[in-house]
C-alpha cells in the first residue's frame, strides 16, 4: 500500500507543480506591472487549482490510511482517479485563457473546469464505494457519516458551479475558488486540532 | 531495493502526468464545445496512455516485490526499461497529432506507438528473464505460468496492433485502448479479490 | 507525517527540476559560444533559484522533523507554503527574460522575484507559528532563538532586495544570488559539523 | 538521510523524464517514416542522457548508502550536485538541435555537453571528498581504490570527449554514448552478481 501512496503522491505533486508552466512571461502593457495585473486570471486559476489538488491530496490520504489491504481492482480504480487528478492542469489553462481573452467562450471553459472536477469526484466516490463493498477498510475506521456528507457537498458544489457557468462564468469560478479557500481555512479555525 | 522502487515510481508518475502537457487550449470552431470535440484524439490518447502506464506500474510492482535481492545488472536493466516507460508521452503526442490532422500519416503514427510499446514489453521481459536466470527471485514467489501468459498476450496484442496499423490506423488504436480498458476493468469483476 | 514530507519533497524536487525548461537552445550570435554567453542571465537565474529551493528544502525539513504530530490545519498551511515554492520557476523566468532583453522592465521583474520570495517566507513563518501555537512541536525540539533570527534575516534580505530593485535591478539580483551562495557555503566552513 | 535520498531520487527521475519533452512530433519528409529517421540525433541524445542519468543515480546511491550520518554541509553539496544533474536536459537539447541542423555549431554544442558532465563529475567528487574528510562514511564502507578509479575514468573520458569535440563533434558524441552503454552493459556480463 505504501507504494500506491508513493505513486499517488507523485501524481499529486507533479500535477500541482506543472500548473506553473502555464504562467507565461507577462508583456509590458504599457508597464510591466500592468502586464502582471492583466494576467490575474492565470494567477487565480493557479492558486485555485493548486489548493484544490492539495485538498484532494489530504482527502485521498485519509481514505488510503483507512485501508486494511489493497487488491488489484482498487489499484486500478486509483489509477483511474489519478487520471483525473493529473488532468487538472488542462481545464485550468483553458479557464485562464478564456477568462483573459474574455468573450462568451469563458462560459464553456468554466463549465469544462467543473465537469473535470465532477468526473474526478465521481472517480473518488467509486474508489470509496469499492473499498467499502470489498471489505478493504479497517472495521474501526469506516468513514463517518459527516465526512461522507462533506465529500458529497464538494461534489454537489461543482455541479452547481458547472450549471451556473452558463449564467455567468465568473460566479462559477468564484464558487470553485471559494470552495478551495473554505476547505483550507476551515481546519485552521477548529478550536480542537484533529489528531492525525 | 526500496530505492529502485522510488526511482521507478517517480518515472512512472512523471511520465503519466507529463501527458497532460500535450492537451492544448482548444480553439472555438465555431463554438468552444466544438473545439473540445474536435480534439477527441488527444483525449483518447491521454486516457489510453495514462491507463497503460498505470497497468505497467502495477505489473512492474508485482515483479519488484518478488525479488529477494538486486544486483547492479538488474538496476541497469531497470533503467533501460524505464527509458521506454518515460518515452510513452512521445508516441502519444505523435498519434494524437496525426489522428487529428487525418491523412495517411496516421498509419505510421499508430505503428510507431505500437513499436514503442513492443520495445518496452521486450525490455520488461528481459528484466524478468534476467531476474530468474540470476536467481534473484524469492523461491516461493516465482511468476505463475498464467501470469507469464498474460504478459505475453499483452506484448502479442501490440505486435498485432502494429501490423494492423497499415490496414487501418483506427483498428490499431482501438486495440491499444481496448487493452488498457480490459486490464483495468477485468480485476474489478473478479469474484474473489486477490490478496496483496 | 512521512506522507506530508513525501508530498513536500516531490514539490521541491519538481519545482527545482522544472527550472531547466526555461533554458532555451541558444542561437549563434555570431558564434554559438557567444550565444551561450549572451544568455548568462538565464543561467544565473537557474542557479540562484535552484540553490534557493534547495536551501528552503533543508529548512523545511528541519521544521517538519521537529513536529510531534500533524493536524489538518498544518497540512493545509503546508499546501499554501508549497503553492509559493512551486511558483518559483515563474518569477525566475520573468527575471531571466527581462534581464536579458534589458531596459527598465528589469526593475519590476526583479521586484516581482523578491515579492514571490517574501510571500513564501511569510507562508513559512505562518506554518512555524501555527505549529508552535498549536503545540505540535516536540518539547525538546523548539527552534532556537538564533535559528529564528537566521530565518528572519533571510526574509528581511528579500524585503531589502525588493526595495533596491527600483534603484538598480542588478543589485537586487546580486543580493538574491549572494544569499543563496552564502547559505550553501556557510555550513561547509563550520569547524564542527552539526549532527543531523 | 532517507529524505536526502527521496529528494535526490526525485530530481534524478524528473530530469530523466523531462528529456522526452524535447522529442517533437516529426514532420513528413516526404513520408512520416523519413521524418522519424531524420530526427535520429534527438533519439540518440535522449537515450544517451537517460542512461547517463540512470548510471549517475546508481553511483550516487552507492555513495549515500555508505554514509553513517549527514551534516548540513553535505546536504548543500548534494544540492549543488543535483543542480548539475537537473541541468542535463539543457545540453541534451542543444546537442540534438545542432547535430540535426548540422554545420559547425555542433562542435560547440558537443563541447557544452561535455562541460556540463565535467561540472557534474566535479561536484560529485567534491561531495565524495567532503564525506571522507568529515568522517561521515561508515568505517567498513570506504570506497575501494578501483571504484574511485572507475569514477575518475568516467570524468576523464568526458574531458577527452570535450577536447575531441573541436576535431569532430560526432567522435565526442560516440564517446558519451559509448560510455553510457558500457556502464549499463558491463555489470550484465559479470560472472558473479554483486550483492546489494
Q: What is the mean pLDDT of chain C?
A: 87
What does DSSP assign to residue B104?
A: T
Q: Quick check: B13 and A14 in contact, CB under 8 A?
A: yes
> How far apart, in Å, are the Cα atoms of B151 and each of A19, A80, B155?
36, 21, 7
User: A67 pLDDT band (50/70/90 cuts)?
Assistant: confident
Q: How far does CA A24 lie from the centroid of its chain?
A: 22
Residue D161 has what pLDDT?
92
Residue C66 has what pLDDT?
84
Q: Is the pLDDT of residue C195 over 60?
A: no
d(CA A112, CA A96): 12
Q: Quick check: C85 and C129 in contact, CB under 8 A?
A: no
Conformation bin of residue C69: beta by default, left when phi > 0, alpha when psi is -120 to 50? beta
What does DSSP assign to residue D195?
A: P
Residue B100 has what pLDDT?
85
User: B195 pLDDT band (50/70/90 cuts)?
Assistant: very low
CB contact under 8 A, B196 and A70: yes
User: A143 pLDDT band (50/70/90 cuts)?
Assistant: low
Nearest by Cα to D131 from D40, D84, D49, D67: D67
Residue A123 has what pLDDT?
93
Q: Is the pLDDT of residue C143 over 70?
A: no
Q: Is the pLDDT of residue B1 over 60?
A: no
Q: Considering CB atoms only, which of B10, B50, B184 is closest to A10?
A: B10
d(CA A139, CA A136): 9
Q: What is the mean pLDDT of chain B?
A: 87
> Looking at the DSSP assignment, which residues form a beta bridge with residue B137?
B67
At residue A192, the 3 state secondary structure works out as: coil
d(CA C73, CA C77): 6
d(CA A69, CA A47): 35
Share of chain A above pLDDT 70, in %: 92
C-alpha cell at A148: 461522507
- In a domain, residue C196? The reply is no
Long-range contacts of B185-188 (CB under 8 A, 24+ apart): B185/A76, B187/A71, B187/A72, B187/A73, B187/A75, B187/A76, B188/A73, B188/A76, B188/A77, B188/A130
Higher-confidence residue of C1 and B173: namely B173
Residue B183 has what pLDDT?
83
Q: Is the pLDDT of residue B196 over 50?
A: no
Letter string b/e over residues D125-148, b meaning 16 or more CB atoms within 10 A of that residue's CB: eebbebbeebebbeeeeebeeeee
On chain A, the residues whose CB falls within 8 A of the CB of B6 are 6
Per-residue pLDDT of C17-71, as tens digits, reads: 999 999 999 999 889 999 999 999 999 999 999 999 999 998 898 888 888 888 8
CB contact under 8 A, D71 and C47: no
Q: Considering CB atoms only, which of B7, B21, B71 is closest to D193?
A: B71
- In a domain, residue C195? The reply is no
Residue D78 has what pLDDT?
94
Helix C72-87 and helix C105-133, axial crossing angle in degrees, nearest 10: 160
Residues (pLDDT < 70) of chain D are 1, 139-144, 190-196
Q: Quick check: B13 and A7 in contact, CB under 8 A?
A: yes
User: B149 pLDDT band (50/70/90 cuts)?
Assistant: confident
Residue A191 has what pLDDT?
54
Best interface-test mutation with C: which of A1, A4, A15, A17 has the largest number of C CBs within 10 A? A17
On chain D, the residues whose CB falls within 8 A of the CB of B105 are 28, 32
Instruction: Write the CB contacts of A177 (distance below 8 Å, at least 6 apart in sequence).
Output: A44, A47, A48
Q: What is the ipTM of this complex?
A: 0.90
d(CA A14, CA A11): 5
On chain D, the residues whose CB falls within 8 A of the CB of B16 are none
C-alpha cell at A14: 507533479
- In a domain, residue B189? The reply is no
Share of chain A above pLDDT 90, in %: 51
Per-residue pLDDT of A3-43, as tens digits, reads: 788 889 999 999 999 999 999 999 998 899 999 999 999 99
C-alpha cell at D89: 536536459
Residue of C nearest to A28 (CA): C105
Per-residue pLDDT of D26-57, as tens digits, reads: 999 889 999 999 999 999 999 999 999 999 99
CB contact under 8 A, A76 and B19: no
d(CA B27, CA A101): 12
Residue of D nearest to B134 (CA): D193
d(CA A7, CA A60): 12
Neighbours of chain D (3+ CB pairs under 8 A): B, C
Per-residue pLDDT, averaged over A52-73, amounts to: 88
Query: Residue C155 — φ and ψ, nearest 5°?
Result: -60, -45
Residue of C nearest to D127 (CA): C188
* Total structural domains within chain A: 1
Per-residue pLDDT of B53-97, as tens digits, reads: 999 998 898 888 888 888 888 999 999 999 999 999 999 999 999
- In a domain, residue D194? The reply is no
Residue B101 has what pLDDT?
81
Ranked by mean pLDDT, the top range of A59-68, B68-77, B160-169, D80-89 is D80-89
CB contact under 8 A, D9 and B7: yes
Q: Is the pLDDT of residue A192 over 70?
A: no
Q: Is the pLDDT of residue C183 over 90?
A: no
Instruction: Write the CB contacts of A154 (distance below 8 Å, at least 6 apart in sequence).
Output: A121, A179, A183
Per-residue pLDDT, averaged over C161-173, amounts to: 90
Residue A195 has what pLDDT?
44
Residue D190 has what pLDDT?
65
Q: Which parts of chain D are beta strand (E)?
A: none
Residue B142 has what pLDDT?
65
d(CA A112, CA B36): 9
Q: How many CA atoms lie within 13 A of C169 on its CB side?
A: 21
Residue of B nearest to D9 (CA): B7
Taking the CA atoms of chain C, what radius of gyration do you get in angstroms? 18
d(CA C89, CA C79): 17
On chain B, the residues whose CB falls within 8 A of the CB of D21 are 18, 21, 89
- In a domain, residue C71? The reply is yes
User: A51 pLDDT band (50/70/90 cuts)?
Assistant: very high
Share of chain B above pLDDT 90, in %: 50
Q: What is the mean pLDDT of chain A?
A: 87
Looking at the whole model, is its pTM more than 0.90?
Answer: yes
Per-residue pLDDT, averaged over A187-193, amounts to: 63
User: A89 pLDDT band (50/70/90 cuts)?
Assistant: very high
CB contact under 8 A, B25 and A97: yes
Q: Considering CB atoms only, which of A72, A89, A112 is closest to B187?
A: A72
C-alpha cell at A133: 463493498
> DSSP letters of B38-51?
HTHHHHHHHHHHHH
Residue A11 has what pLDDT?
95
d(CA A149, CA A19): 29
User: B193 pLDDT band (50/70/90 cuts)?
Assistant: very low
Residue C191 has what pLDDT?
54
On chain B, the residues whose CB falls within 8 A of the CB of D50 are 79, 82-83, 86
- In a domain, residue B105? The reply is yes
Best interface-test mutation with B: which of D2, D8, D9, D31 has the largest number of B CBs within 10 A? D9
Per-residue pLDDT of D133-154, as tens digits, reads: 888 887 666 666 777 777 778 8
User: A1 pLDDT band (50/70/90 cuts)?
Assistant: low
- In a domain, residue B171? The reply is yes
Higher-confidence residue of C131 and C146: namely C131
Residue A48 has what pLDDT?
95
Quote the domain boundaries for residue A150: 2-189
CB contact under 8 A, A76 and B183: yes
Map grid coordinates 527600483 to a residue.
C166
In angstroms, the separation between the Cα of residue B25 and the nearest Cα of chain A is 5
On chain C, the residues whose CB falls within 8 A of the CB of D130 are 188
CB contact under 8 A, C184 and D80: yes
d(CA B18, CA A20): 13
On chain B, the residues whose CB falls within 8 A of the CB of D51 are 79-80, 83
CB contact under 8 A, B25 and A70: no
Residue C86 has what pLDDT?
97
C-alpha cell at B156: 502479442
Q: How many other C-beta atoms can be found within 10 angstroms of the C-beta atom of residue C79?
A: 25
Q: Which CATH number is D89's domain given?
A: 1.20.1410
- In a domain, residue A196? The reply is no
Q: How many other C-beta atoms can be found within 10 angstroms of the C-beta atom of residue B42?
A: 23
Amino acid at each position: 500500500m505504501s507504494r500506491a501512496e508513493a505513486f499517488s503522491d507523485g501524481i499529486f505533486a507533479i500535477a500541482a507543480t506543472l500548473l506553473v508552466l502555464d504562467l507565461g512571461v507577462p508583456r509590458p502593457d504599457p508597464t510591466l506591472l500592468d502586464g502582471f495585473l492583466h494576467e490575474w486570471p492565470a494567477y487565480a486559476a493557479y492558486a485555485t487549482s493548486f489548493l484544490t489538488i492539495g485538498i484532494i491530496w489530504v482527502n485521498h490520504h485519509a481514505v488510503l490510511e483507512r485501508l486494511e489491504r489493497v487488491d488489484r481492482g482498487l489499484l486500478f480504480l486509483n489509477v483511474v482517479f489519478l487520471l483525473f487528478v493529473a488532468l487538472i492542469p488542462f481545464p485550468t489553462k483553458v479557464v485562464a485563457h478564456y477568462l483573459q481573452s474574455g468573450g462568451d467562450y469563458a462560459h464553456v471553459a468554466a463549465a469544462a473546469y467543473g465537469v473535470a472536477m465532477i468526473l474526478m469526484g465521481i472517480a473518488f466516490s467509486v474508489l470509496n464505494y469499492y473499498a467499502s463493498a470489498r471489505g478493504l477498510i479497517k472495521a474501526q475506521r469506516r468513514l463517518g457519516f459527516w465526512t461522507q456528507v462533506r465529500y458529497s457537498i464538494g461534489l454537489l458544489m461543482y455541479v452547481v458551479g458547472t450549471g451556473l457557468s452558463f449564467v455567468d462564468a465568473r460566479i462559477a469560478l468564484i464558487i470553485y475558488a471559494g470552495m478551495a479557500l473554505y476547505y483550507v481555512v476551515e481546519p485552521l479555525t477548529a478550536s480542537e486540532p484533529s489528531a492525525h
